[in-house]
């Protein structure tokens, strides 16, 4: 008899097949107030982390960019400005609620023409091989069931020389910061979630999923295993967040 | 320094500059004409590099992977001096800042910044309406003119007080004459030293 494949959903161990549905529930629940919550929870610092990511993309006019797990489209907007009318940006997210919020926000801000919105699973991307100059994923990888498969897919859709940038919560080595961060994550975050979205469980999952996500060096090794070269990472805010970068050879 | 702090500083500076440029269309147009060129400002002490990408909006970055058309290199004091000078073109030529790459781009930026003339009244009128902005603007201009003439007068009076009343410093011409005499004396002593050396060599030469 074959054993069922399991994975983490926060601190719980669940069937791999179940995780996608559970993550989808979380994001359906928070989609409408996702941006407000991001600003509140990170005190607006998530914008600086994303700004740092943009600097490393090296995107130019005419490039094609995939913003996977792009959610409400804040990176997509910046990419759209940089690639210009001759370039292309694909805003992709597995969750239709998040994608709808992102698409509406883009249209409200006057972004159209060089942007496509696609509902896609990072583990099986509906794009041809070698089709993007840059792939970015900001705060999405920890929600993916099979992270290695997702990284292999990013490698497949990138053009040779193309860059993958993954911005994700990571591990801090500073014991004081770790203590304060843990206290904040497991008390303040669920409380804020309850207050604003009337859903503390989703924000408890957020804190737990961050703890279960691979650390800096482990994720770098996963990049290398997926076929990326010149892999590197940069810690931000004492390692609370890290930006990983790899180049498709 | 943590990258988050650097990004915070750059994001704030970028936002302030772009907001200000909205009220000086001529400078904004000159800077937009430099698009999509990138200028690197390399501060040697403390070691920091800021990349400026020109376009409809200026973009300030701590990292840039693409080509850089010009580099300005110097210590922080040299950049502060440059920023506080009115004629930036002339100041850049004379300063300790080294220019690498396209000097045309560096000079284009210096020219644009020299002509910077932000319409603060228009900026204020966005918040208060045109009537209040005009009254405030008129009074601020009057205050600024008074401060400028008062500071010049204060400077002149202080010089005269120290020189004529306290007699702690000589007159400028007197000082210059003294320095010329000192310089002449220095040259004379050097000549005398050279002459003595020559004589000493001559005397010590084996016959």
A–B CB contacts, 8 A cutoff, strictly below: 36
- When pLDDT is cut at 50, 70 and 90, the band that residue A28 belongs to is low
Q: Cβ(A120)–Cβ(A93) under 8 Å?
A: yes
- Average pLDDT (B186-197) is 96
- For residue B1, give how far its alpha carbon lies from the nearest alpha carbon of chain A (Å): 10
- For residue B10, give how far its alpha carbon lies from the nearest alpha carbon of chain A (Å): 10
Measure the CA–CA gap between B179 and A66, rounded to whole angstroms: 70
pLDDT in tens, A64-100: 999 999 888 889 999 999 999 999 999 999 888 888 9
Q: Could you tell me how far CA B121 lies from the centroid of its own chain? A: 26
What is the DSSP secondary structure assignment for residue A141, as one 8-state letter? G
- Average pLDDT (A173-189) is 85
CA angle A62-A67-A68, nearest 5°? 145
Phi and psi based region of residue B67 (left: phi greater than 0; alpha: psi -120 to 50; beta: remaining): beta
Least confident interval from A16-20, A147-151, B5-9, B12-16: A16-20
Cβ–Cβ below 8 Å for A58 and B66: yes
Residues of B in contact with A237 (CB under 8 A): 2, 4
Q: What is the distance between the terminal CA atoms of chain A, rounded to a whole angstrom?
A: 41
What is the DSSP secondary structure assignment for residue A2, as one 8-state letter? P
Which helix (H) or strand (E) covers residue A158, if one does? Answer: strand A158-169
Residue with tokens 């932000």: B118
Most A CBs within 10 A among B1, B2, B4, B51, hence the mutation to make, goes to: B4
Measure the CA–CA gap between A199 and A194, rounded to whole angstroms: 5
A47 in reach of chain B (CB within 8 A) = yes
B8 in reach of chain A (CB within 8 A) = yes
Q: How far is CA B194 from CA B141, B179, B180, B181, B206, in A?
A: 62, 23, 21, 20, 21
Measure the CA–CA gap between B73 and B96, rounded to whole angstroms: 9
- Average pLDDT (B55-70) is 89
Q: How many CB atoms lie within 10 A of CB A53?
A: 23
CA angle A239-A191-A238, nearest 5°? 10
**A134-163 in b/e burial notation, b at 16+ Cβ within 10 A?**
bbbbbbbbbbbbbbeebbbbbbbbbeeebb
* Predicted-assembly ipTM surpassing the 0.90 threshold: no
Cβ–Cβ below 8 Å for A61 and B36: yes
Highest mean pLDDT among A33-47, B94-108, B159-173: B159-173
- Mean pLDDT (chain A) is 87
A56 in reach of chain B (CB within 8 A) = yes
Measure the CA–CA gap between B46 and B39, rounded to whole angstroms: 19
Interacting residues of A181 by C-beta distance below 8 A, sequence separation 6+: A172, A240
Q: What is the pLDDT of residue B47?
A: 86
Cβ–Cβ below 8 Å for B11 and A45: no
- Average pLDDT (B182-192) is 96
- When pLDDT is cut at 50, 70 and 90, the band that residue A111 belongs to is very high
B202 in reach of chain A (CB within 8 A) = no
- When pLDDT is cut at 50, 70 and 90, the band that residue A204 belongs to is confident
- Residues of chain A numbered 207-246 and touching chain B (CB < 8 Å): 234-238
Residue of B134 and B195 predicted with greater confidence: B195
Residue of A144 and B205 predicted with greater confidence: A144
User: What is the dihedral sign for C-alpha B146, B147, B150, B156?
Assistant: negative
């Amino acid at each position: 008899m074959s054993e069922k494949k399991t994975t983490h959903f926060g601190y719980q161990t669940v069937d791999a097949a179940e995780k996608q549905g559970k993550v989808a529930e979380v994001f359906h629940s928070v989609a409408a107030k996702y941006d407000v919550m991001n600003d509140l929870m990170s005190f607006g610092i998530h914008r600086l982390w994303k700004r740092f990511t943009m600097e490393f993309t090296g995107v130019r006019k005419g490039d094609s960019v995939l913003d996977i797990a792009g959610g409400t489209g804040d990176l997509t907007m910046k990419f759209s400005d940089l690639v210009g009318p001759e370039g292309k940006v694909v805003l992709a997210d597995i969750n239709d609620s998040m994608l709808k919020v992102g698409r509406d926000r883009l249209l409200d801000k006057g972004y159209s023409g060089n942007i496509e919105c696609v509902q896609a699973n990072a583990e099986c991307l509906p794009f041809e091989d070698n089709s993007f100059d840059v792939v970015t994923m900001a705060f999405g990888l920890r929600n993916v069931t099979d992270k290695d498969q997702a990284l292999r897919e990013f490698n497949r859709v990138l053009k040779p020389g193309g860059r993958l940038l993954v911005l994700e919560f990571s591990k801090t080595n500073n014991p004081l910061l770790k203590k304060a961060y843990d206290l904040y994550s497991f008390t303040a975050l669920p409380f804020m979630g309850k207050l604003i979205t009337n859903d503390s469980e989703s924000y408890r999952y957020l804190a737990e999923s961050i703890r279960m996500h691979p650390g800096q060096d482990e994720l770098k090794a996963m990049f290398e295993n997926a076929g990326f070269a010149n892999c590197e990472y940069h810690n931000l805010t004492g390692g609370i967040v890290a930006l990983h970068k790899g180049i498709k050879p | 320094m943590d990258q988050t702090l650097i990004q915070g500083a750059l994001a704030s500076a970028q936002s302030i500059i772009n907001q200000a440029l909205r009220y000086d269309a001529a400078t904004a147009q000159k800077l937009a004409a430099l698009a999509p060129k990138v200028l690197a400002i390399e501060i040697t002490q403390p070691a920091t590099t800021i990349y400026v990408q020109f376009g409809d909006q200026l973009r300030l970055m701590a990292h840039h992977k693409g080509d850089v058309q010009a580099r300005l290199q110097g210590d922080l004091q040299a950049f502060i001096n440059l920023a506080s000078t009115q004629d930036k073109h002339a100041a850049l030529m004379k300063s300790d800042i080294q220019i690498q790459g396209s000097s045309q781009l560096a000079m284009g930026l210096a020219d644009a910044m020299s002509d910077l003339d932000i319409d603060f009244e228009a900026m204020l009128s966005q918040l208060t309406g045109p009537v209040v902005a005009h009254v405030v603007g008129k009074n601020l201009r009057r205050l600024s003119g008074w401060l400028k003439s008062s500071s010049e007068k204060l400077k002149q009076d202080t010089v005269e007080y120290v020189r004529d009343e306290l007699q702690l410093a000589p007159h400028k011409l007197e000082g210059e004459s003294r320095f010329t005499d000192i310089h002449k004396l220095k040259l004379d002593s050097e000549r005398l030293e050279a002459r003595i050396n020559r004589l000493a060599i001559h005397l010590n030469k084996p016959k």
